[in-house]
Homo-oligomer: A and B are copies of this chain.
Amino acid sequence: MNVPSSPLGVVRRHIVRADPAAVARLSRLGVSTLHEALGRSGLMQPFMRPVYAGAKLCGTAVTILLQPGDNWMMHVAAEQLQPGDVAVAACTTDNADGFFGDLLATSFQARGARGLVIDGGVRDVDTLQAMGFPVFSKAIHARGTIKATLGSVNVPVVCAGALVQPGDVVIADTDGVVVVPAAQAHEVADAAEAREALEAGKRARFAAGVLGLDLYKMREGLEKAGLRYLD
């Protein structure tokens, strides 16, 4: 969806990308952990799935606002992609056509892009997998698109329910897709790394048979809430 204050027919050439060092740190963290580190915000809806098993990506967002059944702006966006970017495509309406296939993937990969996140459909999925070009999408659909109507590139977009600003870090893995605002990238990486360290310790205790009831000291709270044990 397009955001009220973002005009159609616009390409912003200069965007502020998140610090590459922060992106590198975020790329080693999982989506579920990052979503927690973000205070449980920034997550796309769960219908966004990898188009092949094992796909993963992390990079800075070049945003694309598409019109239904039209992928003209994909070509406009290609020119704005820099190494380390991830293309993030939203559509002005609900549409699952195949906006993207092997030729665009070849072009995006040649520009150094690390993948695509699209609230729409893609095709040539076997080739995408063979190329190692990760895509997270709402659908796989062979239906082609035209090149007739202007959308925008590098404007804020709502993609699968999440607001994405150009330059934000987008991370996707088997658990979903999450957006980290560029300005918060290091801070979120800090919080996520701390959480990971903490969880490693908890995992060892769970593996040793300690119950969450005891580890998290839940018994009193449950009793207060009125939990009754019956035989």
List A residues at the B interface (Cβ < 8 Å).
1-14, 30-32, 35-36, 38-43, 45-46, 49, 53, 67-70, 72, 74-76, 78-79, 92-98, 101-104, 106-107, 109-111, 121, 123-126, 139-144, 146-150, 156, 158, 161-163, 168, 173-176, 178-181, 184, 199, 202-203, 206-213, 216, 218, 221-222, 225-231
* Given known A107-B206, A202-B103, A212-B75, contact A4–B148 (CB-CB < 8 A): no
Q: In the complex, are the beta carbons of A140 and B11 less than 8 A apart?
A: no
Q: In the complex, are the beta carbons of B228 and A10 less than 8 A apart?
A: yes
Q: How far is the CA of A69 from the CA of B96 in the complex (A)?
A: 12
Q: How far is the CA of A111 from the CA of B123 in the complex (A)?
A: 33
Nearest B residue (CB) for A216: B75
Q: How far is the CA of A36 from the CA of B138 in the complex (A)?
A: 22
Query: What's the minimum C-beta distance from A142 to chain B, rounded to whole angstroms?
Result: 4
Q: How far is the CA of A221 from the CA of B111 in the complex (A)?
A: 23
Q: How many copies of this chain does the complex contain?
A: 6
27 A–B pairs (Cβ distance < 8 Å), ordered by A: A1-B45, A1-B161, A4-B38, A4-B181, A9-B226, A9-B227, A10-B228, A11-B227, A11-B229, A13-B230, A49-B140, A69-B149, A72-B218, A76-B213, A76-B227, A78-B212, A93-B143, A94-B96, A102-B199, A109-B207, A125-B175, A141-B175, A141-B176, A147-B221, A149-B225, A158-B163, A163-B163
Q: In the complex, are the beta carbons of B68 and A142 less than 8 A apart?
A: no
Query: What's the minimum C-beta distance from A192 to chain B, rounded to whole angstroms?
Result: 12
Point out the residues of chain B lying under 8 angstroms from A38, CB to CB. 4
Q: In the complex, are the beta carbons of B175 and A140 less than 8 A apart?
A: yes
Q: In the complex, are the beta carbons of A175 and B1 less than 8 A apart?
A: no
Q: In the complex, are the beta carbons of A40 and B161 less than 8 A apart?
A: no
Point out the residues of chain B lying under 8 angstroms from A14, CB to CB. 231
Q: How far is the CA of A128 from the CA of B32 in the complex (A)?
A: 13
Point out the residues of chain B lying under 8 angstroms from A7, CB to CB. 39
Q: In the complex, are the beta carbons of B98 and A32 less than 8 A apart?
A: yes
Query: What's the minimum C-beta distance from A222 to chain B, rounded to whole angstroms?
Result: 7
